[in-house]
Structure 1
Amino acid sequence: MDNAPSLDNTDNEVIAAVRCWVETFVIGMNLCPFAKRELVKDRIRFVATAAVTEAHLLQVLQAELELLNTDAAIETTLLIHPQVLQDFYTYNNFLNVADALLVSLELEGVYQIASFHPDYQFGGTEQDDVENYTNRAPYPVLHILRESSIEQVIASYPSVDDIPERNIALMNALGRKYLQTVFKACLNRSA
Structure 2
Amino acid sequence: MSQKTDEQLLKPVQTWLEQVVIGLNLCPFAKRPWTNHQVHLQVTRANSDESLLEDLALEIQALLAQPIEKRETTVMIVAQHLQAFDDYNQFLNWAEALIEQQNWQGIIQLASFHPDYQFAGTQADDAENLTNRAPFPLLHILREESLEKALARYPHDPESIFENNIRCMHELSEERKRELFPYLFS
TM-score greater than 0.5 by the shorter chain: yes
Q: Does 1:135 align with 2:132?
A: yes
| Helix, strand or coil at the partner of 2:123 | coil
Deviations 1:84-129 (A, max 9, x none): 0011011011111001111111111100000000000000100000
AA of the residue aligned to 2:154 = Y
**Which portions of structure 1, spanning 4 or more consecutive aligned residues, are displaced by more than 2 angstroms?**
175-178, 185-188
* Alpha-carbon distance between aligned partners in 2 of 1:187 and 1:47, rounded to the nearest angstrom: 25
- Listed as ranges, the matches of 1:55-74 within 5 Å are 55-72=50-67, 73-74=70-71
Aligned in 2, Cα 1:176/1:123: closer, same or farther, shift over 3 Å?
farther
Number of equivalences = 181
* Alpha-carbon distance between aligned partners in 2 of 1:170 and 1:115, rounded to the nearest angstrom: 19
User: 5+ unaligned residues in a row in structure 1: which ranges?
Assistant: 1-7
Which of residues 34, 50, 64 in structure 2 aligns to 1:39? 34
Deviation at 1:11, TM superposition (A): 0.9
Q: Tell me the percent identity.
A: 44
Contact 1:130/1:175 (8 A) holds in 2: no
* Alpha-carbon distance between aligned partners in 1 of 2:37 and 2:66, rounded to the nearest angstrom: 13
| Helix, strand or coil at the partner of 1:128 | coil
Which of residues 151, 164, 170 in structure 2 aligns to 1:154? 151
- Listed as ranges, the matches of 1:35-114 within 5 Å are 35-72=30-67, 73-114=70-111
Q: What is the alpha-carbon root mean square deviation over aligned residues?
A: 1.9
Deviation at 1:180, TM superposition (A): 3.1
| Helix, strand or coil at the partner of 2:142 | strand
Deviations 1:137-182 (A, max 9, x none): 0000000000011011111102222111011001000045522331
Q: Which residue of the partner structure matches residue 4 of structure 1?
A: none
* Alpha-carbon distance between aligned partners in 1 of 2:86 and 2:29, rounded to the nearest angstrom: 28
* Alpha-carbon distance between aligned partners in 2 of 1:156 and 1:78, rounded to the nearest angstrom: 23
* More off after superposition, 113-122 vs 68-77: 68-77
| Helix, strand or coil at the partner of 1:46 | strand
